[in-house]
Amino acid sequence: MSESSLERQDQRQISPDLSENMEYCKEVMGNSNDLMMRPLQCLHKWPAVMLYIDGLVDVQILNHSIMESLLQKRDLPEFSADDEHLSYLQNDILIASDVLLVDDMDEVMNALLSGSAILLLEGSVRGLKIGAAGWEDRSVGEPVSQTVVRGPMEGFNENLRTNTSLIRKRIRNPHLWIEEREIGQVTKTRVAVLYLEHIVDQEIVKELRRRLDEIDIDSILESGYIEELVQDETRTLFPTVYNSERPDTVCAALLEGRVAIIVDGTPFVLLVPALFVHFFQSPEDYYQRADISTLIRLIRYLSFFIALLAPSFYIAISTFHQEMLPTNLLISLAAQREGVPFPAFIEAILMELTYEILREAGIRIPKTVGQAVSIVGTLVIGQAAVDAGVVSAAMVIIVSITAISSYVIPENGLSISVRILRFVLMILAAAFGFYGILIVLLITVTHLCSLRSFGVPYMSPFAPLIQKDLKDTLFRVPWSRMKTRPLSTGTPNKTRQTTKKTKR
């Protein structure tokens, strides 16, 4: 006997006895008070019951669009088949847009918990699932983590259908395909995969389907679960799946041939494949002129290296390579450190740990006192530490510019990777000076070149070198010259535009 037939045998069928079905629902849900059962005489002829979960359905739709149509009195035709009266209700009576037949109690329970109402009739072994979802949602607001000066101010919310509609609103094309599945044995979380069928590399879509179908877990409560379960490599500090709460960013990625993953219950949408250069790109880069965008992007790369290397460089120079400093600067630093009891490495570790604690505290504490804590942390503690002779003023400057530079990186995942790697660099700089820094950088670059994101080299288009894709990496060329989509995604539709620059 096949596995599918065994599963069908294990499923509990709908009983023709209404009271038995009602008792089963109560038993499964532990007599929960939000399970509502409304007995009625359907069309004044058939005993029936309406089942729904209070808080998951729109009561206005239930009362005015569904119940009123079921409680009216009509002259009914003669029915010959067993379920013909259900088809009559489905096609001729109920005015709801989503009315489907359900065959077993597993479908009934799943539909109830998804926000649908269920109509069961006495003597029938099938029921009707009526779409009436209407739980409370957060309205579409401004993105919190990815703000821009110029550009759309809409952000995703926690409702999957709202998020897909925000994308549909921007890409009005029938080739935008949406595949939905439920993941999580207990939570049964809806997950949607979006892609432009005529642009995406179908091999990436097939690989994503395979990885999603292999997930066997109790719960999916946020897109971070999916990110960790589908990424190519788990033993890496660097994110290989991009996430965004901006519809315009997701639409731009879809138009480049990437795939979006939307998880019900979170405003953060995943994008694959994700390359290293993507984490330095902001949607505002494409709303400003090319020269302005290029300057800002170069500042981001510079900030990345400052956030990564500034403390370790200070440790290496002050400990091993003092001859690299100008004499006046060396004398100034030596005078500052004269009363400091700790070596440069301990001094840097103390300041970096203090900053990390203050940063985490600023995220967790209530917003009403968050500003006060940040002022106390940056001004009072820093100045007091210098006055007490615990750290030097130069170290406060180094840690401050490092902290500010880390906030310039647009994507928080890469910023966290930099924070972790910074401590490794500080340890090796204290042990071996510039040689230790060079060793860490060589290992890091080698590791980055070995990473893949759904089969695409993580360091594309630098390694391997794809010259046509360099137009949108360290710099951004004008739109009139961005005629092709990124070749690294493997898109079969390479032409983005055929616009010719007009001379005036």
pLDDT, tens digit, for every residue of 155-185? Answer: 999 889 899 999 999 999 999 999 999 999 9
What pLDDT is attached to residue 326?
A: 81
The position carrying tokens 């990124």 is 486
> Which residue numbers in the chain have pLDDT < 50?
1-9
CA distance 363 to 177: 37
> Residue 470 has which token pair?
């360099």
**Do the bridges between strand 176-183 and strand 127-131 make them parallel or antiparallel, or are there none, so unpaired?**
unpaired
> How long a stretch of residues is the chain?
504
> Residue 111 has which token pair?
């539909």
Residue 162 amino acid letter: T
> Residue 86 has which token pair?
């259900």
> Residue 459 has which token pair?
């360091």
| Cα angle for residues 50, 184, 265 (degrees, 5° grid) | 75
What pLDDT is attached to residue 214?
A: 94
What pLDDT is attached to residue 9?
A: 41
| 365 touches 353 (CB < 8 A) | no
Gyration radius (Cα) of the chain, Å? 30
CA distance 71 to 49: 12
CA distance 193 to 164: 10
CA distance 440 to 420: 13
476 burial class (0-12, 13-18, 19+ CB within 10 angstroms)? buried
What pLDDT is attached to residue 3?
A: 43
| 313 touches 305 (CB < 8 A) | no
CB atoms within 10 A of CB 329: 11
Q: Give how far Cα 467 sits from Cα of 274, 296, 311, 484, 487, Å.
A: 18, 22, 34, 12, 10
